[in-house]
Amino acid sequence: MRGIISPKLEPFITQANKTIADAKQNNIKFSADLVRTGLNNLSTFLVNRPEIALVIDKNLPFEEHQIPVRIYHPAPQVDLPVMLHFHGGGHMCGSVDLYDPISRQLAISSKCIVICVDYRLSPEHPYPAGINDCQQVLLHHKTLLQGMNYNDQVYIAGDSAGGAICTTLVMNSFKNSALQIDKQILIYPSVDYTMSAASVEENGQGFLLEQDKIQWYFQQYFQTSDLKQTSIEAASPLLGEFNAEMPETLIITAGCDPLRDEGFAYADSLKAAGINVTQQHFEGMTHAFMLLQSLVVDECTKTYQLIADFTAKK
């Protein structure tokens, strides 16, 4: 069923749809620069940027490059859990800087040390470069936290493509026991690169994230026009293995999101494997609503509270 947009978002969505229609009429094609600028423009809605006791930028060496991270420690004298934060953006966009207000709010609400990872992006660095960066940080996060107080709990959190990274690392953990993941937090996650869910069609136009853009994102990420390849199915966490060793999971979904049904299906598969799942569905919200915080304050506040409750639960 097609979603019905919240009145809170109607003016924004009307303007976004006009911009999209004008671009199509003028035959403006997708490009990395264009979509990156578009996502970065949403920073005007991220007005809540709370102070954090300790914020520090570091780099983790990996192969022939450095992985930039930003660490947020809300209580440096306390041994807190560690949360790795993987930003969204279709594997092509987003950055530690854009997501800085969200990382800060995550650290404060969850009472965790948040490590936000500036993983490599496609098309310059296609699959699995970004996954490899995030996995390396998960494996070696203690190196980044030398001299800081932390405990042995490790959580991962991500929205959209960041959710894809989380769920991919969970898949990878089946074969690599060094990948410790105690809980995962998924916000409108992308978990099926074949775009098979009904909501991709139902919500694929008129709600900010459109079907043709999703397809283009994935084509850049995998460097192919054919998203039905066996290798792409194998890369899709929804189509992979589910077992009782997977972490407890919080899943946030949005009613006007093309990825809505993927989140539902992933939750169902986790439950069938015996995993504890906490779900929250926001009718009337679009994909990326956490980046629109000043327009949907209540929904964002509730999301941070859900994350706080989830991480506090023993």
Write down the domain spans for the chain. Answer: 10-312
The whole-chain average pLDDT of the chain stands at 97
Say yes or no to pLDDT of 303 above 90: yes
Please pick, among 100, 257, 261, 269, the residue that the annotation labels catalytic: 257
The catalytic position among 109, 160, 173, 190 is 160
pLDDT, one tens digit per residue, over 144-165 is 999 999 999 999 999 999 999 9
The pLDDT assigned to 226 comes to 87
Residue from 73, 87, 141, 287 carrying the catalytic annotation? 287
Catalytic residue status for 182:
no
- Whether 287 is a known active-site residue: answer yes
**Phi then psi for 24, rounded to 5 degrees?**
-70, -40
Q: Residue 259: how many CA atoms within 13 Å on its side-chain side?
A: 31
At residue 128, the pLDDT reads 97
CB atoms within 10 A of CB 237: 26
Those residues with Cβ within 8 angstroms of residue 298's Cβ, 6 or more apart along the chain or in another chain: none
Please calculate the CA angle 227-231-233 and round it to the nearest 5 degrees: 60
CA gyration radius, the chain: 18
160 is catalytic: yes
Considering Cα of 269, then 270, then 273, then 276, what sign does the dihedral take? negative
Q: Note if the pTM is more than 0.95.
A: yes
Asked if the model's pLDDT at residue 67 lies above 90, the reply is yes
Element (H, E) at 80: strand 80-86
Q: If you ran DSSP here, which 8-state letter would residue 176 be given?
A: -
| pLDDT higher than 90, residue 242 | yes
pLDDT (tens digit, 9 = 90+) per residue, 180-190?
999 999 999 99
| pLDDT at residue 276 in the model | 98
Report which DSSP code applies to 237: G
What average pLDDT does this structure show over 235-261?
A: 97
Q: What is the pLDDT of residue 56?
A: 98
Q: Over pLDDT 90: what percentage of the chain? A: 98
Going by C-beta distance under 8 Å and a sequence separation of 6 or more, which residues neighbour residue 57? 68, 69, 70, 71
Q: What is the mean pLDDT of residues 262-274?
A: 98
Residue 259: the pLDDT is 98
Does the pLDDT of residue 314 top 90, yes or no?
no
Tell me the per-residue pLDDT of 189-227, one tens digit each, with 9 for 90 and over: 999 999 999 999 999 999 999 999 999 999 999 999 888
Report whether pLDDT(124) > 90. Answer: yes
Give the model confidence (pLDDT) of 4-62 as tens digits. 999 999 999 999 999 999 999 999 999 999 999 999 999 999 999 999 999 999 999 99
CATH number of 10-312: 3.40.50.1820
pLDDT of amino acid 228: 85
Residues in the chain: 314
